Structure 1
Amino acid sequence: MSRVRTVLGDVLPGQLGVCDAHDHLFLTSPRLPGQELRDVSAARAELAAFRAVGGGSVVQWTPYGMGRRAAELPGLSRETGVHVVAATGLHQAAHYDDATLGGLRDRLAEVFVAELTEGIGTSGVRAGLIKVAGGFHAVDAHARWTMAAAAEAHHATGATVAVHLELGTGALDVLDLLCDELGVPPHRVVLGHLNRSPDPVVHRQAAESGAYLGFDGPSRAHHATDWRMPDTVRRLADAGFADRLLLGGDTTTSAGRSVHGGPGMPYLLRRVRPRLAAELGAELVTRMLTENPGRAFAVDWAC
């Protein structure tokens, strides 16, 4: 039976409730100096605020080596009543030093599989998805290496592969590599940040492949997210792809948290949901927030 692997154990898809399908409780990177998500109390408050507006689960896409704080996640989930899904995987090379990448060179797939089946570090928390990243309008050598490892880990475990698309670009190149070359079924691929490049032709082709399309990171006006998202999502829904669409918040900086005055996780339900509901109807948006994440991240775990 398909289940979602949360930090407290595997659960049925219907137990997720309203799901933020792409966000971060903890995140550090040399590309975000001084903006790290490290504070446990702030993460707890953010989850509680999300819960207060109806949130039931959060999928954290923070991968290997970027400050996941996996040992903290079970306690935060229990205390707030919000399911949390953790990730393995690897981001773009710019987020790591050479020593970290060098140490993974010949064992990346092995690390992914271990974190999915045994646990992240000594935390005992098992990851529930594999996160990787493409380049800008391209799949570079680093992306090919990480996606090859992700595909190997998928074939060993069944885990979903979630992809950061740089500024929303490169979706079709990613699908060519992951699905056509590496054999990952399209319904086990989630493409993130498509709202940042609102190209209806690419969106339609990606949806036709069978992949899940992530519209995440609301409130970023320079990415044309909020004001274009309703029309973009409506076109895909009208074309019959409503069951392929995922919504998320993607809070990546401390200043972006609601507890620090930013939009944070609650923004997805306070502002994005009603705006989409006015365009698509509340029932359809509810399915996008509940049923779709359950299908996207629930797998028949091979381990």
Structure 2
Amino acid sequence: MVAAVRTVLGDIPAGELGVCDAHDHLFLRSPVLPGQELDDPAAAAGRLRAFAGFGGRSVVQWTPYGMGRRADVLAELSRSTGTHVVAATGLHQAVHYPAALLGRIRDGLASLFVSELTDGIGATSVRAGLIKVAGAFHTVDAHARLTMTAAAEAHHRTGAPIAVHLELGTAAPDVLDLLCGALGVPPHRVILGHLGRSPDGAAQREVARTGAFLAFDGPSRAHHATDWRLPEELAALAGAGFGGQLLLGGDTTVPETPGMPHLLQRLRPRLTEVLGAGTVTDMLVTNPARAFAFEAPAQAA
């Protein structure tokens, strides 16, 4: 059976993903970012075309349920720009949602995630291709436990990968203890985001040894102080034998973020100089094809 990635236009062989921005946002809306919404389809199309102009082929949008992911326009954006787009289901930290909304959906999260992965998001036929959840700063709080438990159930029912926002790059061991230990998700089906925001090499190697994928998703307007460390962090991890688990993303969260074109235009040459073309190709092409592919669901085995 050929491994497949679920895009907004349908499933494609994982090998067709091509050069991939493994963590980004075409659309995003949150009460913690007032006035900085990403909600302009024309601007999103411009970013996709610029990314494609530098050889980009695929973008994975980590915007989850209730944060303005614009499933209604994702398919047309993918068609018109010739770029594969992967959409997300899941839930971010509680601070990004009205309490009343969380109260309405909390008891049916796993079913919601499964429906968006298998049937479509809202009234659209666009199916999500991954489940996005989030930890808290240096801990897994009650909300994260709720969402990660639902994400694990949805993973077991569908085979979808799980992507995790690590708050300032922290709590990765606690996240893996819950998802992979208590909840039985294989580590290679987990993608840990924002590890570069806590540039602790020992901690990065600790979680790499589990087999999880590690997403280094900058440069970021808010966290640029850690971006200059990226080449040495990646070189250390690749040198320690973890090159097959590394992913790169632009993580466009507000309009001023350098984002996806910068990832290929500026960051790729810098990383190629330090790491070599083969390692960078692995991070942009080979590794995403494995990280975002669906596997046979455990409940079907």
Considering the TM-score relative to the shorter chain, is it more than 0.5? yes
Give the unaligned 5+ runs of structure 1. Answer: 257-262
- 2: CA distance, partners of 1:159 / 1:283: 28
Question: Deviations along 1:161-181, whole A, 9 cap, x unmatched?
Answer: 000000011111100010001
Could you tell me which residue of structure 2 aligns to residue 5 of structure 1? 6
RMSD: 1.2
The DSSP-based 3-state class of the residue aligned with 2:284 is helix
Give the unaligned 5+ runs of structure 2. Answer: none
Could you tell me which residue of structure 1 aligns to residue 20 of structure 2? 19
Alignment of 1:20-59 (within 5 A): 20-59=21-60
Could you tell me which residue of structure 2 aligns to residue 260 of structure 1? none
Could you tell me which residue of structure 1 aligns to residue 170 of structure 2? 169
Contact 1:109 1:153 in 2 (8 A): yes
Equivalences, count = 297
Distance 1:219 1:255, change over 3 A: closer
Distance 1:34 1:221, change over 3 A: closer
Contact 1:3 1:11 in 2 (8 A): yes
Could you tell me which residue of structure 2 aligns to residue 63 of structure 1? 64
- 1: CA distance, partners of 2:106 / 2:156: 20
Alignment of 1:108-257 (within 5 A): 108-220=109-221, 222-256=223-257
- 1: CA distance, partners of 2:221 / 2:274: 20
Q: Which amino acid is the alignment partner of residue 209 of structure 2?
A: E
Could you tell me which residue of structure 2 aligns to residue 278 of structure 1? 273
* TM norm structure 2: 0.96
Contact 2:221 2:256 in 1 (8 A): no
Q: Which amino acid is the alignment partner of residue 97 of structure 1?
A: P
* TM norm structure 1: 0.96
Give the Å deviation of 1:219: 4.4
Question: Deviations along 1:49-92, whole A, 9 cap, x unmatched?
Answer: 11111100000000000001101001000100100000000000
Residue 289 of structure 2 corresponds to residue 291 of structure 1: no
Contact 2:218 2:227 in 1 (8 A): no
Q: Which amino acid is the alignment partner of residue 58 of structure 1?
A: V
- 1: CA distance, partners of 2:46 / 2:137: 34
- 1: CA distance, partners of 2:18 / 2:29: 28
Give the Å deviation of 1:217: 2.1
Distance 1:138 1:6, change over 3 A: same
Could you tell me which residue of structure 2 aligns to residue 86 of structure 1? 87
